[in-house]
Amino acid sequence: MTRKTKINVPATVVSSLGVRLFYILAAVCTFGLFILLYLFYLFSKEQKQRLRYERSLQMIRQQLEGLIESSHAVIYSRRPGSGYPFIYIRENVTVLLGYTSKQFINDPDLWFKKIHPEDQALALSSLNTTDVSVYNLTQYRILHANGDYRWIQDNTKLIFDQSGSPILVLGSWIDVTQYVTSVQALKDSEERFRNLFNEKLKYEKELLKKTEQLDNLNKNLQQKVEDEVIARQTQEQILIHQSRLAAMGEMIAVITHQWKQPLNTLSLLVQDVVEAYSFGEVNQEYVNEFVGEALAQIQFMSSTVNDFKNFFKTSKSKVDFDCMESVMEVVNLLSSQLKAFSIELSCIKDGNPVMLVSGYPNEFKQAVLNILNNSVDAIVQREKGDLPTIIKEITIKAHNEDDRVILAISDTGGGIPAQNMGRLFEPYYTTKKEGTGIGLYMARTIIEGNMGGKIHAENTDKGASFVIELKRVHKNFIH
């Protein structure tokens, strides 16, 4: 028989256990409440961050849409392969070519069929690149819906995946019809002026013959001489006008070169926003960086246009100006071209930093531009030839000497052949295949005829040097 034992627990012990249990339950509830408050704090913080990201994303989207809408370029993407069918093309293609974006997307052959037959191979070559780092820049004619051909500039880049397989073609179209026709008109104008000059030479030969006859006959000699002077002055004005046209053509080429890099940069920035958005990299820092870089490129392009406009302002009267400041303005205009050919240019000033002369600043800048263009051409041609490798550089040295300012522009282009040195400043004399032969002639006319200075050329151990001497102005010059 089992005996049950009764254990008596004191009341004080039971009371103590109850108190402890109460404190334990209170601690558990307090900790649980703290956990709930902390989770609520994290949830609220995440909601606020998500709201900020959504606002930033909306602002980026609005800025990107505004940037695209403000651009006249037709942006597109295409699938690599047969026919390169369009995936996307901006709706402003209708303004450019008269066709809708749906027409290009629904008809893969429309683009190729509308390209001028002579330009079809060139247009396809812009898409058939295998170099991931290359941007192809091609100009070709395409038929507008109204029946006229338009010149467009096609900027394309082939995108590859990690395995090296092409996955996408990104590009943009810009209407360059006016630019191409202007360049062609300029070439036609130069040809017409060349023909005029040839006719002038022919006329001069005939004039010499007639002069001999007039000397023998001694009749109306004075009148004929006056007629000849007028004819020569007329031809001189033609040369001056042609020189300005040629300089304008060169400056247009400079602006085109200056704008290539910022346009490519803006294109990359626009494309990068799409990729950054798809990978979730768009934040406030990215937006600020994007806006800053885009505005910097736009400001650079605007500054280039202002420099071009100021360059061709006519100087109506002589003024005192710092010739080295004018030289630096020309150097700034050519900076992108010099960088493209990897040509280093350095300016060295000795003594008094002010090089004050009297004359026509814009004409002086045109003379400097002609000399610098000759130096660039000489260096580029030497690099293409069989001559030894050289350091490609142009050096501009200037100093005051008594009553003169002496400016020397030297290059490493190999120098001037001795048989050409005597005819270097003659009009229409050139040794370049596409040269006009009026650049150095106008430089001499401006320096010697208009500003009362001197200019001559000499060879150095590395190339040629053009030395300009101008009368120095002595007075306090406040910049």
Q: Name residue 347's beta-bridge partners.
A: 396
Nearest to 318 by CA among 471, 467, 469, 170: 471
CATH of the domain at 115: 3.30.450.20
Cα gap 288→254, rounded to integer Å: 31
For residue 268, what are the domain limits?
180-308
Indicate the number of domains in the chain: 3
- To which H or E segment does residue 154 belong? strand 149-160
Do 447 and 369 lie in one domain? The reply is yes
Nearest to 177 by CA among 212, 203, 147, 153: 153
Whether 319 and 427 share a structural domain: yes
β-pairing, 464-471 vs 86-89, is unpaired
Decide if 408 is inside a domain.
yes
Domain edge (last residue) among 308, 338, 369? 308
* Helix (H/G/I), strand (E/B), else coil: 137: strand
Statement to judge: residues 167 and 244 lie in one domain? no
* CB neighbourhood size of 88 (10 A): 12
**329 within domain boundaries:** yes
Together in a domain, 365 and 334 = yes
Inter-CA distances, 360 with 291, 320, 404, 461, Å? 41, 8, 17, 33
193, 238 contact by CB (below 8 A): yes
- In tens digits, what is the pLDDT along the chain, a chain of 479 residues? 445 555 454 555 556 666 677 677 777 777 777 777 777 777 777 777 777 767 766 676 566 555 556 567 888 888 888 888 999 998 889 999 999 999 999 998 999 999 999 999 888 887 776 455 667 888 999 999 999 999 999 888 888 888 878 888 888 898 999 988 888 888 888 888 888 888 888 888 888 887 777 766 665 556 666 667 676 656 656 655 555 655 556 556 555 655 655 666 677 667 777 777 787 877 888 778 777 777 766 766 666 566 555 555 556 578 899 988 888 888 887 777 788 788 999 988 876 677 889 988 888 888 888 888 888 888 888 887 766 667 889 999 998 888 899 999 999 988 888 888 888 888 777 777 666 667 788 788 888 888 899 999 999 988 999 999 999 987 754 44
CA separation, residue 321 to residues 315, 318, 362, 405, 475 (Å): 12, 9, 11, 12, 11
- Closest to 59 (Cα-Cα) out of 71, 67, 47, 49: 67
What is the pTM for the complete model shown?
0.43
Q: Is residue 58 part of a domain?
A: no
Asked if 465 and 439 sit in the same domain, the reply is yes
